[in-house]
Structure 1
Amino acid sequence: MPGRGGVHLRGGWREVQLLNLHSRLAQRVLVQLAHGPYAREDDLYALGQSVAWEEWFTTKQTFKVEVTSHASPLRSLNFAALRIKDAIADRFRDRAGERPSVDTQRPHARVYAHLGATHCTLSIDTSGEPLFKRGWREDKGEAPLKETLAAAMLAASGWTGDVPLYDPCCGSGTIAIEAAQIACGIPPGLQRRFAFEHLRPHEPRAWADLLAQARAARRTPAAPVFGSDVAFRMVDFAQRNAQRAGVADAVQLRGGDALQRMPPSDVPGVLMLNPPYGERIGTAGVAGRTQRGRERAQADDGADFFVELATHWKRNFAGWTAWVLTPDLKLPSRMRLKESRRVPMWNGPIECRLFRFDMVAGSARTRAPSEG
């Protein structure tokens, strides 16, 4: 069920593990332990005392309480966190004669409290590091795209690996590598560890079985994935990242300018890119001058690059579908293309749109755009 900032669902411990292992879009997986009304900090203490924390971690482990709020009447979130922390510590002391320590940096158990206007929800984190950290991207550029956003772009496009995919501004390879993992059936969490491995319900043997099943489910891609970048240094980064992600044999990465690269496949497919823009880094293109190791279009707003890119696509990529993520809502008119779809997305704090352009040789006419 959709909720504010997330999705709510019912499931057991196996589902918790599978969500962490397989979800490409979630930031983290929380298990809700309590939900109740509050008006002051003492109510939060009582709610915290009602949870059987001893079933989740031990006095030998560390914990931390993090508080978020929306329309909360309380003045101090720090004091709210302190009262919940006291409730957890006191419950352990009452039952075991000792309490776990607090570790604000690397706790074994991370407790999340969300304060609404009238109710508080207490949850325990099962993910640890945010799930966009897949464990394979050690080499990255100045403004890397989060893996979860790359996965969201692929999901919004409807691409399932049945046709070729090409990112001509691949940077350190995030979109191409996410696509290659999808095509190969490789779960995004296969290369990393999770917070649930420290919690008491964890069963190492059952988890090992799930990992073995995931590795055995790998398949041969139905269509190739390609990536290229004007900066050869970034291509090297992408190749190393692909190797760590287990898809070096499923993605073809090359150096080259987006305005000169020809279609990498005889079969039309999907162009998917997050081109550099003003709030990130300089635009890549042959018309440019070097800035921070990348090429920058002569116009400060990158207009020359995008106009030339559209011309290049219409001339050479007929039959392809292009998806471009940008904060510039006027990009279609600047590129002299008509979008067939626009999808609202956020790149960190930057509001963007994912535009779809259907490439027809010598023409930019498509159906009217729709917001969705």
Structure 2
Amino acid sequence: MNPDTSFDIFLVSTPGLEDVLLAEVVEKGFANPTLSPGGVTVQGGWPEVWRANLELRGASRVLARIGSFMAFHLAQLDKRARKFPWGDVLRADVPLRVQVTTKASKIYHAGAATQRIETALRESLGATISPEAALVLKVRIDDNVVTLSLDTSGESLHKRGHKEAIGKAPMRETLASLLLRQAGYTGTETVVDPMCGSGTFVIEAAEIAMGVNPGRSRSFAFENLASFDPELWEEIRAKPPQATDLRFYGSDRDAGAIRMSRTNAERAGVADVVHFENHAAGELTPPDGPPGLVIVNPPYGGRIGNKKLLYPLYGTLGQTLLTRFKGWRVGLVTSEPPLAKATGLPWKPQGPAIAHGGMKVWFYQTPPLR
């Protein structure tokens, strides 16, 4: 594959927030973005693959579509897989895992198809096939079209590489950034999280304000491909943080959560612009300065504990915000619409369901509180 060749790059999204990821992709200047279930497709070459992994806060994975061909039976699949120019992209010395899905095709046995492709890779490239390999070749056989994609991310992109400490029901960084964007946050206002857990919303907001890349602290699967150019990658990666006068605030009644938040902020390099305090939501007061955004992922039934005990907690949070946070917008994540209602906050109409940790949640938002 020529380094200048353009191909489809599929950016995997949190289900239910594809349109929010699309807005980020457009803002970052990727070519020909189109929305589809589960994510956004753009066009570009390898530098765009690297940039997507490095810069996009909302994408969970970046898949590079390296080729496709027709195959109506296993012998044809075998023959065409052997002819495919694997060496343009893959290195023989880097172990590889193959995942096949089939749909509405004459080749309907995914296991048999996997075997043929693995054998073709071994015999035509000398590849090492391993079920534990970090590098994954995803093969989709749909209506007899075989589409080959490489997972260029490796570990899911919510693993930014600087968070060691997490609470018992963590918010993924990718989801947090999409919800901040959905709430209208652009890095130019104060953000407060009154039940901050391990600090995800607060740290993401601070990073956005400082203009740092989410993938700056980690490595990616694409670094082990034949198409990788280390010098060009270092150029793309180099980006100093911007100074910001804004401050970001998190609080939690769990002292352990506050210790985690502080450690995570330190590792992320944002400790100078964030403040974490140990107190209950009812003790929350607004920081000095103009109103901004309160964003919160409180406990909810399926996630933590007995939901009957949560109604007073939501009620207290709502009262505190209504009385002390005039002019602020509020965003709240919950799996239980009655809990959102218990806050007494003036929610806008309920948006679509979002997949989070194996359950459906909703993101409730208010206009500026009056």
Mark the CA change 1:87 to 1:126 in structure 2 (over 3 Å): closer, same or farther: same
Q: Which residue of 1 aligns with 2:249?
A: 226
Pairing 1:146–2:184 present = no
Q: Which residue of 2 aligns with 1:66?
A: 99
Amino acid at match of 1:207: W
Please give the alpha-carbon distance, in whole angstroms, between the structure 1 residues aligned to 2:364 and 2:203: 21
TM superposition score normalised by structure 1: 0.84
Mark the CA change 1:241 to 1:200 in structure 2 (over 3 Å): closer, same or farther: same
Cα contact 1:134–1:191 (8 A) shared by 2: yes
Mark the CA change 1:115 to 1:250 in structure 2 (over 3 Å): closer, same or farther: farther
Match of 2:130 among 93, 98, 103: 103
Match of 1:348 among 352, 357, 363: 357
In the TM superposition, what is the alpha-carbon distance from 1:250 to its structure 2 partner?
Answer: 1.7
In the TM superposition, what is the alpha-carbon distance from 1:252 to its structure 2 partner?
Answer: 1.2
Please give the alpha-carbon distance, in whole angstroms, between the structure 1 residues aligned to 2:99 and 2:111: 9
In the TM superposition, what is the alpha-carbon distance from 1:114 to its structure 2 partner?
Answer: 2.1
SS in 2 for 1:196: helix
Q: Which residue of 1 aligns with 2:82?
A: 49
In the TM superposition, what is the alpha-carbon distance from 1:332 to its structure 2 partner?
Answer: 4.0
Amino acid at match of 1:143: A
Cα contact 1:313–1:359 (8 A) shared by 2: no
SS in 2 for 1:31: strand
Which sits farther off after the overlay, 263-272 or 160-169?
263-272
Q: 1:115-134 counterparts in 2 under 5 A?
A: 115-134=141-160
In the TM superposition, what is the alpha-carbon distance from 1:70 to its structure 2 partner?
Answer: 5.1
Aligned length: 336
Please give the alpha-carbon distance, in whole angstroms, between the structure 2 residues aligned to 1:230 and 1:22: 33
Pairing 1:257–2:280 present = yes
Q: How far does the alpha carbon of each residue in 1:50-97 deviate from its partner, in whole angstroms, 9 at most, with x for none? A: 4211112233222111224555665542322222212222322xxxxx
Please give the alpha-carbon distance, in whole angstroms, between the structure 2 residues aligned to 1:281 and 1:264: 29
Match of 1:180 among 202, 206, 216: 206
In the TM superposition, what is the alpha-carbon distance from 1:102 to its structure 2 partner?
Answer: 1.3
Cα contact 1:161–1:221 (8 A) shared by 2: no
SS in 2 for 1:122: strand
Pairing 1:193–2:226 present = no
Cα contact 2:329–2:369 (8 A) shared by 1: no
Mark the CA change 1:70 to 1:258 in structure 2 (over 3 Å): closer, same or farther: farther
Cα contact 1:160–1:183 (8 A) shared by 2: yes
Pairing 1:13–2:46 present = yes
Please give the alpha-carbon distance, in whole angstroms, between the structure 2 residues aligned to 1:129 and 1:231: 29
Cα contact 1:164–1:265 (8 A) shared by 2: no
Which sits farther off after the overlay, 21-30 or 58-67?
58-67
Which sits farther off after the overlay, 180-189 or 349-358?
349-358
Cα contact 2:190–2:248 (8 A) shared by 1: yes
Shift >4 Å, 4+ stretches: 69-75
List runs of 5+ in structure 2 lacking aligned partners: 1-33
Pairing 1:239–2:262 present = yes
Match of 1:248 among 251, 271, 282: 271
Structure with bigger gyration radius: 1
Q: Which residue of 2 aligns with 1:203?
A: 229
Mark the CA change 1:73 to 1:26 in structure 2 (over 3 Å): closer, same or farther: farther
In the TM superposition, what is the alpha-carbon distance from 1:157 to its structure 2 partner?
Answer: 0.9
In the TM superposition, what is the alpha-carbon distance from 1:44 to its structure 2 partner?
Answer: 3.4
SS in 1 for 2:44: coil
Q: How far does the alpha carbon of each residue in 1:125-177 deviate from its partner, in whole angstroms, 9 at most, with x for none? A: 22111111110111011111111110110111110121110011110011111
In the TM superposition, what is the alpha-carbon distance from 1:310 to its structure 2 partner?
Answer: 1.1
Please give the alpha-carbon distance, in whole angstroms, between the structure 2 residues aligned to 1:19 and 1:176: 23
Kindly, what percent of the aligned residue pairs are identical?
32
Cα contact 2:198–2:257 (8 A) shared by 1: yes
Please give the alpha-carbon distance, in whole angstroms, between the structure 2 residues aligned to 1:249 and 1:68: 47
Cα contact 1:317–1:359 (8 A) shared by 2: no
In the TM superposition, what is the alpha-carbon distance from 1:351 to its structure 2 partner?
Answer: 1.1
Q: How far does the alpha carbon of each residue in 1:193-239 deviate from its partner, in whole angstroms, 9 at most, with x for none? A: 01111111111111112222x2x2x1112422111111010110011
Cα contact 2:202–2:248 (8 A) shared by 1: yes
Q: 1:301-316 counterparts in 2 under 5 A?
A: 302-316=310-324
Pairing 1:270–2:301 present = no
Please give the alpha-carbon distance, in whole angstroms, between the structure 2 residues aligned to 1:71 and 1:164: 51
SS in 1 for 2:301: coil
SS in 1 for 2:319: helix
Cα contact 1:70–1:115 (8 A) shared by 2: yes
Q: Which residue of 1 aligns with 2:124?
A: 91
Cα contact 1:314–1:359 (8 A) shared by 2: no
Mark the CA change 1:57 to 1:359 in structure 2 (over 3 Å): closer, same or farther: closer
Please give the alpha-carbon distance, in whole angstroms, between the structure 2 residues aligned to 1:260 and 1:160: 27
Cα contact 1:274–1:325 (8 A) shared by 2: yes
Mark the CA change 1:46 to 1:132 in structure 2 (over 3 Å): closer, same or farther: farther
Amino acid at match of 2:49: V
Pairing 1:318–2:315 present = no
List runs of 5+ in structure 1 lacking aligned partners: 93-98, 283-295, 362-372
